[in-house]
């Protein structure tokens, strides 16, 4: 590992090495369910053990080197939040959506602005899993266009939005294209394909086709199975030249979710994530090569700058 690593400015500090590389040729860091550093206004079956994925808010994650954020917007009590909800079947009660709200979208905008005003880094917000939790909780509906427009109005308050044509392939842009002039860039990716970007198009908001990330999680709580699944997918997708997100995340099964409700000793999402994250560097060193490496290291529970240091280890290895 490197010494004196400045995770708040790691992109800018390494522009001499990375600036002329395209994003497809760089490894960056990302967080899963990024807004879930708090659990509030939850359903009966939701608590920190089975819902909270992060210990640090967006500001803390940015300081620790995360640059790609999984933002899952929900509407609750008429306002915009992040959320973590899953449909599960409860004995005697049937199917229902269980989960909680996390950070508000407004607080995320404020924290990103505070960071990018002080640090000339690239920040990517990926919007997906939109849900209107003010509707009945047997199956929360996705946003309608009016609700998306309300969210866009909030997000348009982001500073340093990267304004190029929404048809641009962002994976083929160099890091210098984004931050080479000494100013930050913020990119908002809208994953659902049916959403009309409207007046936000070409103004920092992009359809998923502009930043086409292969993102397929293992859907298991077994660490060996998760690692095997992700490295196999990495080898296949990178061989085809695809932009690849390594989902270094462990997923609770229904029994584990329910165990969190009734047992104080149940392993939480963050507990499992810490165990997985502690093995990330060693696993990466054993599996990556100049032709097979992740473009995004994507983790729960970012509590150190370990992932950012690992990303830079990969970037330096590619230059060796």
Helix ranges (DSSP H) in the chain? 10-13, 15-18, 48-51, 58-63, 105-118, 145-155, 175-179, 223-239, 254-262, 269-278, 280-287, 306-317
Quick one: pLDDT at residue 177?
Answer: 98
User: What integer pLDDT is reported at residue 139 of this predicted model?
Assistant: 84
- Please state the φ and ψ torsions of residue 22, each to the nearest 5 degrees: -75, 155
The pLDDT score that the predictor gives to residue 44 is 86
CA angle, residues 208, 214, 215, in degrees to nearest 5: 95
User: In this structure, are residues 101 and 74 in contact, taking their beta carbons and an 8 Å threshold?
Assistant: yes
Bridge-based pairing state of the strands 243-248 and 296-299: parallel
- 142-155 per-residue burial string, b: 16 or more CB within 10 A, e: under 16: ebeeebbbbbbebb
Contact 82, 54 (CB under 8 A): no
Three-state secondary structure call for residue 44: coil
86 phi and psi, to 5 degrees?
Answer: -140, 140
User: What is the predicted pLDDT for the residue at 284?
Assistant: 97
What pLDDT, on the 0 to 100 scale, is given for residue 93?
Answer: 63
- Report the alpha-carbon distance of residue 271 to residue 280 in Å, rounded: 15
**Cβ pair 90, 24 in contact under 8 A:** no
CB atoms within 10 A of CB 167: 11
The pTM assigned to this predicted structure is 0.96
52 three-state secondary structure: coil
How far is 98 from 138, CA to CA, in rounded Å?
Answer: 9
**Which segments of the chain have a pLDDT < 50?**
1-2
Architecture of domain 7-317: Alpha-Beta Barrel (3.20)
């Amino acid at each position: 590992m490197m010494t004196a690593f400045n995770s708040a400015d790691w992109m800018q500090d390494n522009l001499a090495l990375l600036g002329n590389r395209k994003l497809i040729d760089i490894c960056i860091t990302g967080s899963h369910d990024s807004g879930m550093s708090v659990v509030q206004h939850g359903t009966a079956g939701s608590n920190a053990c089975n819902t909270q994925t992060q210990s640090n808010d967006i500001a803390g994650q940015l300081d620790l080197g995360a640059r790609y954020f999984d933002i899952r917007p929900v509407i609750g009590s008429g306002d915009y939040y992040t959320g973590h909800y899953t449909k599960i079947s409860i004995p005697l009660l049937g199917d229902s959506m269980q989960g909680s709200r996390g950070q508000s979208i407004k607080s995320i905008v404020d924290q990103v602005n505070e960071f990018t005003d002080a640090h000339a880094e690239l920040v990517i917000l990926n919007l997906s899993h939109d849900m209107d939790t003010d509707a009945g909780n047997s199956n929360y509906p996705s946003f309608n266009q009016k609700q998306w427009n309300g969210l866009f109005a909030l997000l348009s308050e982001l500073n340093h939005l990267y304004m190029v044509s929404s048809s641009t392939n962002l994976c083929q842009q160099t890091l210098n294209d984004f931050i080479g002039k000494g100013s930050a860039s913020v990119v908002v990716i809208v994953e659902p394909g049916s959403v009309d970007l409207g007046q936000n198009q070409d103004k920092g908001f992009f359809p998923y086709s502009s930043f086409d990330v292969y993102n397929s999680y293992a859907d298991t709580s077994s660490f060996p199975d998760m690692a095997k699944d992700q490295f196999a997918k990495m080898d296949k997708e990178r061989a085809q030249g695809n932009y690849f997100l390594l989902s270094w995340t462990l997923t609770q099964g229904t029994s584990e979710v329910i165990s969190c409700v009734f047992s104080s000793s149940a392993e939480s999402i963050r507990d499992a994530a810490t165990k997985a994250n502690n093995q990330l560097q060693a696993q990466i060193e054993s599996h990556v090569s100049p032709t097979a490496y992740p473009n995004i290291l994507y983790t729960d529970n970012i509590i150190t700058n370990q992932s950012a240091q690992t990303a830079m280890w990969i970037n330096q290895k590619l230059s060796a």
